[in-house]
Each structure stands twice: as structure tokens, then as C-alpha cells.
């Protein structure tokens, strides 16, 4: 099993998208990329911890490749808006790929270059590609939130 970590706005939407992919064995939502140790959701929402809402994806590379995960990542959000996805604004909603290995870094950078070169988006991609730091799982009520709360939805 391998791990991939992505931030693409509201982590509820990102989590459900990755969890449903064949080859993904587990997902968990949480916070990464900031300075506060064990931040709470309330702290992250202040936009002062530096953390992004993110999804940690555990996957079987014999069933789904990291490149396939990257392709999904690019499709599920707008990677051209800095610190924003839809009505959600703040650094916690930034677009970011947190790589765990040098190979993931290389693949993420190549994928970003290809997306920009292809002109897929009208504006330049602002997605950060950063070495993964400590991932702090979000509170239990956030885990698989949309599966538990059928009427809930992320703002878009």
C-alpha cells in the first residue's frame, strides 16, 4: 500500500471522490502543511494555523497508479484559484499536492506542467507541490462526513 495526500478545497468532497475509486483502500480527512500541533477544525478555520484541509489516500498501486490519482485531483477542483474553492476562502482551502516520495514529487510536477501546457484551464495553475509533513486527522465527525450525512454537501 502507498499513501497520497491532496488538498482541493472542502475535504468532504475530496474524500468521497477518492474513497470511491477502485484501488483506494482507505481515506481520512485532516490537516497538513501548517505550524500548529494537533490543530482543531475551529483553529484551522481561523486561517492562522497554515494547515490545508486535506485527504490522505491509501491505495494499492497494482490497482490504481499515482498518476491516475493525480488525474482525478485535477478534475475535482479549480487549481487556478489561490486559497479558494467556490465560496470557501482561506489558506485552508488551497490547492496542494503533498508528496511522500521523490517519485511522487516528480510525477506531480510533470502532471502540473502537462496540465498547464495543454491549456486545460484559462488561468495558470497555482497548486502547491510540497513535501508531506505531519498529517493530523480531523475530528471523527468529519471522517466520511458526506456518507454519514446524505443531505449535506460542500459549497460549490
Domain count across the chain: 1
Nearest to 7 by CA among 32, 39, 40, 44: 32
Instruction: Summarize pLDDT for 41-69 with one digit per residue, the tens.
Output: 999 999 999 999 999 999 999 999 999 99
Is 156 among the domain residues?
Answer: no
pLDDT tens track for 134-144: 999 999 988 98
**CA pair distance 92, 47, nearest whole angstrom:** 6
Is residue 83's pLDDT more than 50? Answer: yes
- Is 90 among the domain residues? yes
For residue 133, being part of any structural domain is answered with yes
Residues 6+ apart with CB under 8 A from 20: none
Closest to 90 (Cα-Cα) out of 155, 4, 144, 148: 155
Q: Is residue 83 part of a domain?
A: yes
Q: Please report whether residue 154 resides in a domain.
A: no
Look up the domain containing 39 and give its range: 2-148
Mean pLDDT (whole number) for 75-90: 93
Q: Give the residue numbers annotated as catalytic, written as ranges.
A: 10
69: domain CATH number? 3.30.1060.10
The pTM for the full model equals 0.94
Amino acid at each position: 500500500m502507498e499513501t497520497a495526500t491532496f488538498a482541493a478545497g472542502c475535504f468532504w468532497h475530496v474524500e468521497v471522490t477518492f474513497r470511491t475509486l477502485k484501488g483506494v483502500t482507505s481515506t481520512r480527512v485532516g490537516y497538513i502543511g501548517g505550524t500548529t500541533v494537533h490543530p482543531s477544525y475551529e483553529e484551522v478555520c481561523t486561517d492562522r494555523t497554515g494547515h490545508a484541509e486535506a485527504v490522505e489516500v491509501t491505495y494499492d498501486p497494482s490497482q490504481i497508479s499515482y498518476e491516475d490519482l493525480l488525474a482525478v485531483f485535477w478534475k475535482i477542483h479549480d487549481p487556478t484559484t489561490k486559497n479558494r474553492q467556490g465560496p470557501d476562502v482561506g489558506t485552508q482551502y488551497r490547492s496542494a499536492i503533498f508528496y511522500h516520495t521523490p517519485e511522487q514529487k516528480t510525477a506531480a510536477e510533470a502532471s502540473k506542467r502537462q496540465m498547464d501546457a495543454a491549456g486545460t484551464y484559462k488561468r495558470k495553475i497555482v497548486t502547491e507541490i510540497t513535501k508531506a509533513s505531519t498529517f493530523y486527522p480531523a475530528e471523527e465527525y468529519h471522517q466520511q462526513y458526506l456518507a454519514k450525512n446524505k443531505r449535506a454537501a460542500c459549497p460549490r
